[in-house]
A = this chain, B = another copy of it.
Amino acid sequence: MATHSVTFQPEDKTVDVPTGMLIAEAARQAGLEILQPCGGQGRCGRCAVIVEGAGVRRRSTIRLSSEDVEAGYALACQTVIEDDITVTIPEQERVERRIVTGRSVRKVELPFPYDPATMQPVRVSQLHLHPPSLDDNVDDLGRLKHGLSELGISDIELPLPLLRSLGDKLRQADWQPWIAFEMIGEEGSGRARLMEISAQAFDPLGLAIDIGTTTVTLYLVNLTSGEVLSSAAEYNGQIAFGEDVISRIVYATKGDGLHQLSARVRETIHELLTRVQKRTGIVQEHIFKVLVAGNTTMIHLFLGLPPETIRLTPYIPAANRVPPYSANELGIEAHPLASVECLPGVASYVGADITAGALSSGLVDSEDLTLFIDVGTNGEMVLGTRDWMVTCACSAGPAFEGAGVVDGMRATKGAIEEVWIHSDTHEPTYRVIGGGKPRGICGSGLISLMAELFVTGAIDRGGRVNLSLDTPRVRTGNHGPEFVVAWADETETGKDIVLTNVDVENLMRAKAAIYAGYHVLARSVGVGLEDIQQFLIGGSFGQYVNVEKAIQIGLLPDLPWDRFEFLGNTSVRGTYMALLSRQAHSRVDKVSQGMTYIELSADNTFFDAFTGALFMPHTDMSRFPSVAKIWQDGNGDEVQDEQK
């Protein structure tokens, strides 16, 4: 058997190995350790290395994109050596991740080439008026209107405070005032709302705000350059009154709960605004446009609309499409006459966050069949192309946000966010947000854990913990059968971190609801899930989910991985786009009106689809061929039994 010379970088160690040896084994011979949390099954992708030369054969490239492969990446546990090669072991990914609270959102790029002349919703223009005289004694307002008519404005809306200061301001500006205005009404109607008259030139600013149930994100935007000057995110202050939308709605219906919740989110926005203002030194009075997205309940609470009917059958919101109101009316510390507008929603559980996401995800421009999903408390999803869209919301419950799970927590410091379990020993390896000791498990960690327990046989397809395994990690605890992820001495709390049978059942119901949503949407338009060309995942939850694991538990359909794309906060990004461009805004309006909403509680195929999905990955394993393969490898012919 031929031997090949393998050199490892950056350590610069070389070993000679026979044809067919795994890179992982060669590294071991060179005295180097490559982490293999999944036990070398090619599932976790943590052993990826960079190979120079063509002398390898990749058995599996699972967890690697085609770009990765082209760039030379290979999984050390799945790649055999067939010639002399040099292998670079990347510096271990730093175990240091996002902490939502207080972090500043990274630099945001312009979403499209920005042409303020045609797109900008709020403009600042200088007027050149003739000073009045005895021969030209037109009133101040008439003079202003004449100047505005030269900008194509034939009909103005003039708030009373501005009328009251009109004369002084025109004279202070020596009849050459800078005017901030927003075009309103139909395109070409010539209607504008005036907001400011000033002696000085200034750039108008805008805010794009996404009010998430958990997190509020704010972009401060220069409306002339289109640039995001600063951004910030913070927990929604309403969290103190309930973690999910349902508990907020319940709170809102009691006493002055609505008022309190409304005030809380305003306070959060105020904090974010203060933060970006301190960073940038901008003047709040130069903020002339505020665009807000959020789920329907968040929008109701922000506007002070009673949300009760959202929660009660037949689930009717007060309004999906809300007219703009002034910053003054809504208590936002921008220019008091700034318009505050909420993007339109579609239904009680398909809100402006989804229509904004449909815009920023590119769904609205897609020729390919696309599924866009924003997973949070509910799985809100849209299936379609640029020409048609169907949408629904699955009441998944907050399990994937860490609620309803014994050691669940939000994706913040101390949360286990990814887990690998050794195929033989069932010993877990995990990654913790912030890098310290774990305090609990967040959504992505729960998905990862469930998938690993399932493929290693620690839980069965019905989600039951296999107590017969030869490891102390499976046991019967206070909550019944459970798996110990971290022992007390490893944890921040000094207590074991576990996943119980009940937790798994809750998570199964959540993923089943979401899968049933895909099914009903696809069926409603006569396509199969396998026909989906793009699967776009929005929301901060989606941003860190491991596709493979999500497929293994049946949360995502079994499609080639390169069809999945994680887009992060699609809501705030869509809001930013609509803030910059009247055309984009009007696109969202049209999208919201064109979407066909399917109310799942009124759809009798939903319950069957839900029940069918209450297995891992699904009752019908044939829908998940890639999972079937891995699972059969580990669990043999049990497949047939479960399928009956």
How many copies of this chain are found per oligomer?
Answer: 2
Q: Known contacts A134-B601, A306-B167; is A139 also within 8 Å of B313 by CB? A: no
- A305→B134 contact, CB < 8 A: no
Check: A157 CB closer than 8 A to any chain B CB: yes
Task: List 3 A-B pairs, minimum CB-CB distance, nearest first.
Answer: A134-B602, A141-B319, A134-B314
- B134→A320 contact, CB < 8 A: no
Identify 28 residue pairs between A and B in the complex whose beta-carbon atoms are under 8 Å apart, listed by A's number: A132-B314, A132-B316, A134-B313, A134-B314, A134-B601, A135-B602, A137-B315, A137-B348, A139-B320, A140-B316, A140-B318, A141-B318, A141-B320, A142-B319, A142-B321, A160-B304, A160-B325, A160-B330, A163-B303, A163-B318, A163-B322, A163-B323, A164-B306, A166-B305, A166-B318, A166-B319, A167-B308, A167-B318
A309's partner among B158, B167, B304 (CB-CB below 8 A) is: B167
Besides A134-B313, A137-B597, A141-B322, 19 other A-B contacts (C-beta < 8 A): A135-B599, A135-B602, A136-B314, A139-B318, A139-B321, A140-B309, A140-B317, A142-B320, A142-B321, A160-B329, A160-B330, A163-B305, A163-B318, A163-B322, A164-B303, A164-B305, A166-B305, A166-B318, A167-B309
- A139→B602 contact, CB < 8 A: no
Check: A347 CB closer than 8 A to any chain B CB: yes
Check: A118 CB closer than 8 A to any chain B CB: no
Q: How many angstroms between the C-alpha atoms of A320 and B308 in the bound complex?
A: 47
Q: How many angstroms between the C-alpha atoms of A141 and B322 in the bound complex?
A: 8
Check: A367 CB closer than 8 A to any chain B CB: no
Chain A stretch 592-617: residues in CB contact (< 8 A) with chain B: 597, 599, 601-602
Q: How many angstroms between the C-alpha atoms of A347 and B304 in the bound complex?
A: 43
- A139→B599 contact, CB < 8 A: no
Shortest Cβ distance from A144 into B: residue: B319
Shortest Cβ distance from A313 into B: residue: B134
Kindly provide the distance from the CB of A406 to the nearest chain B CB, expressed in whole angstroms: 35
Check: A133 CB closer than 8 A to any chain B CB: yes
Check: A168 CB closer than 8 A to any chain B CB: yes
Kindly provide the distance from the CB of A137 to the nearest chain B CB, expressed in whole angstroms: 5
